[in-house]
Amino acid sequence: AQSVTQLGSHVSVSEGALVLLRCNYSSSVPPYLFWYVQYPNQGLQLLLKYTSAATLVKGINGFEAEFKKSETSFHLTKPSAHMSDAAEYFCAVSGGSQGNLIFGKGTKLSVKP
Amino acid sequence: EAQVTQNPRYLITVTGKKLTVTCSQNMNHEYMSWYRQDPGLGLRQIYYSMNVEVTDKGDVPEGYKVSRKEKRNFPLILESPSPNQTSLYFCASSPRDSLNEQFFGPGTRLTVL
């Protein structure tokens, strides 16, 4: 069965600092992996996705993630945090034929001026 | 504009009073799904539908019903809501040949007193 673990329910960085949000997955089949962002009082927006092509995936707003099969990880990074990046971030793995996405519990990112 | 819409966006109700949350998509997607989001638990799938008249249970279906009479609509029905169904609900849709590319609605915040 597929599962996702996000390390750290809250991450705080200073504006301009590196953002690193951690995600480890478990999957019995080659996974499709996703990062979604949820801004306050809004729905989920797809940041980026891995679908077995390039292992380094670039997304919107300067975010990128690297798929590492040996570490079963798909960490999300951004070189320089901006105040507007403050949001909750969810890592997800494809659930298989059911079509669902298995979500992690989320990481809330705070950005300090 | 391609989108998933949900109504209402906010709802406060009382225990036992039947309610329906509507979901509609204008992208001609075959697959639709309902999730609930709870703090610390991420998103969990309630029900999904692969096509018209085809629905199936997700991970947390108890206390919910759905129907899929038309391709564009996928209402979520709570016949006798209880306080433990207080949550943030998201509808999502995707093409059948790309189940993992799910588009999410803006969410419905439900409070059951």
**Residues B97, B31: Cα–Cα separation, whole Å:** 9
* Residues in chain A whose Cβ is within 8 Å of chain B: 9, 32, 34, 36, 42-46, 49, 51, 90, 92, 94-95, 98-101, 103-106
Look at B100 and B90; give whichever has higher pLDDT.
Answer: B90
Q: Which of A39, A40, A28, A35 is nearest to A50 (CA)?
A: A35
Mean pLDDT of the B65-84 span: 97
Question: Which of A2-6, B41-45, B76-80, B96-100 is least confident?
Answer: B96-100
* Per-residue pLDDT at B21: 98
- Confidence band of B37 (pLDDT split at 50, 70, 90): very high
Q: For A100, which of B40, B58, B101 is closest by C-beta distance?
A: B58
Chain A residues near residue B48 by CB distance under 8 angstroms? 98-100
Q: What would the two tokens of residue B86 be?
A: 């207080």
Q: What would the two tokens of residue B50 be?
A: 């692969």
Interface of B with A in 39-58 (CB under 8 A): 40-45, 48, 50, 56, 58
In tens, the pLDDT along A62-81 reads: 999 999 989 999 999 999 99
Please check whether residue B4 is in contact with residue B94, taking contact to mean a CB–CB distance below 8 angstroms.
no
Mean pLDDT of the B69-85 span: 97
Residue B97 pLDDT exceeds 80: no
Mean pLDDT of the B80-90 span: 97
Chain B residues near residue A106 by CB distance under 8 angstroms? 40, 42
Chain A residues near residue B45 by CB distance under 8 angstroms? 95, 98, 100-101
Cβ-proximal residues to A82 (8 Å cutoff; 6+ apart), any chain: A15, A111
Instruction: Give the dihedral of Cα atoms B34, B5, A65, B46; nearest 10 deg.
Output: 0
SS3 letters for chain A?
CCEEEEECCEEEEECCCCEEEEEEEECCCCCCEEEEEECCCCCEEEEEEECCCCCEEECHHHCEEEEECCCCEEEEEECCCCHHHCEEEEEEEECCCCCCEEECCCEEEEEEC
**Residues B83, B57: Cα–Cα separation, whole Å:** 21
DSSP B63: T
- Confidence band of B96 (pLDDT split at 50, 70, 90): confident
pLDDT in tens, chain A (113 residues): 788 999 999 999 999 999 999 999 988 777 889 999 999 888 888 999 998 778 899 999 999 999 998 999 999 999 999 999 999 999 999 876 666 788 999 999 999 99
Averaging pLDDT over each range in B18-27, B47-56, B89-98, which range is the top one? B18-27
- Which of B9, B47, B102, B108 to mutate: most A Cβ within 10 Å? B102
Cβ-proximal residues to A37 (8 Å cutoff; 6+ apart), any chain: A44, A45, A47, A61, A87, A88, A89, A90
